[in-house]
Amino acid sequence: MTELPSPGPRPGEPPSRSARRLLLVHAHPDDESINNGVTMARYAAEGAQVTLVTCTLGERGEVIPSELGHLAGAALGAHRRHELAAAMGELGVTDFRLLGGAGRYQDSGMMGLPDNDDPGCLWQADVDQAAGYLVETIREVRPQVLVTYDDHGGYGHPDHIQAHRIAMRAAELAADPSVRPELGAPWRIAKVYWNRVPRSVAEAAFARLQEELPGLPFDKSADIDDVPGVVDDERITTEIDGTAHAFAKAAAMRAHVTQIEVAEPCFALSNELAQPLFTTEYYELVHREGAAGRQHAGERETDLFAGIEEAS
Ligand SMILES: [Zn+2]
């Protein structure tokens, strides 16, 4: 085992305060690379502070490579922590943390399984208490932008739904001066986004995938319902063209060896169903403070920080 890179500033060491600060909240290691890989790589390359908070170590994920098939539970979580560190290395992200520290919340498994009742799992977590850990991070980092899932967690996984609830609640609590003043001065996040994929983009990508499938190492394709966050195009407010960072995204996804098999322009999860690897990432702006990021009707933003004053 190699030493993991430090997940944040050391005690007593002031955090470096980049002008633009982006916070992403995810359920499991791998979700960040699949959903936001090019976005994270772009902002890290531009010198923004990119902070990732992952809520569980994905201890109940299914393992793809047979030679790693013995990994389960805490051993899988420990392994996935290293995969996450490797993925962050590919994206150039140095500040990645686990909600409440490693092992505080465990993977809840797929919806409807008895795993959901495990008292240590994220699904059983008290949302306000879990949000308290994130309030501490928000008040320390002071992000202008928060990215997370929609209220369905994108596709209904209990940990994704909880990550959404915790992130949204923490944003609210962090701004409230009466909440936990010992955790630092209140901080209001200017813009909150949910991960999205426009339906027309998903449909076109799956149509292409059908043609490419014979040349790919996967027998079958997933379908649109397997892609988290697909919505009608009108709801998309923001798109981040990640062409320049597509290579980093694919490398970060590949670093999640136990969870993802990448064969560009596609990838598959443990179900071995091919799905498109999106190198443009899409968002829905669901909350903004004041004039931050006010768009012209029908016009998509191309920067999550649009409308935010640099010095804030
Ligand atoms: Zn996940």
Global confidence as pTM: 0.93
3-state secondary structure of 267: strand
Contact between 47 and 94 (Cβ < 8 Å): no
CA of 309 to the centre of ligand 1 (A): 33
217-272 pLDDT, tens per residue?
A: 999 999 999 999 999 999 999 999 999 999 999 999 999 999 999 999 999 999 99
CA of 28 to the centre of ligand 1 (A): 5
Structure confidence at residue 298 (pLDDT) = 74
Question: Looking at residues 197-209, what average pLDDT do you find?
Answer: 97
Whole-angstrom Cα distance, residue 140 to residue 27? 21
Question: Is 28 part of any known ligand binding site?
Answer: yes
**Bridge partners, residue 22, by sequence:** 50, 145
CA angle 124, 130, 134 (to 5 degrees): 150
CA of 111 to the centre of ligand 1 (A): 12
CA of 228 to the centre of ligand 1 (A): 10
307: CB partners within 8 A, 6+ apart: 191, 288, 291, 292, 293, 294
Contact between 77 and 70 (Cβ < 8 Å): no
Secondary element (H or E) of residue 250:
helix 246-255
User: Would the pLDDT of 296 be above 70?
Assistant: no
CA of 189 to the centre of ligand 1 (A): 24
Question: Is 152 part of any known ligand binding site?
Answer: no
Whole-angstrom Cα distance, residue 277 to residue 64? 18
Structure confidence at residue 295 (pLDDT) = 65
CA of 163 to the centre of ligand 1 (A): 10
CA of 76 to the centre of ligand 1 (A): 14
Contact between 176 and 247 (Cβ < 8 Å): no
Whole-angstrom Cα distance, residue 261 to residue 239? 25
DSSP state of 103: T
Question: Looking at residues 68-87, what average pLDDT do you find?
Answer: 98
CA of 37 to the centre of ligand 1 (A): 14
CA of 52 to the centre of ligand 1 (A): 14
Q: Token pair of 312, please?
A: 């804030």
User: Would the pLDDT of 54 be above 80?
Assistant: yes
Query: Predicted confidence band at 1 (pLDDT cuts at 50, 70, 90)?
Result: very low
3-state secondary structure of 17: coil
Contact between 264 and 216 (Cβ < 8 Å): no
CA of 166 to the centre of ligand 1 (A): 15
CA of 140 to the centre of ligand 1 (A): 26
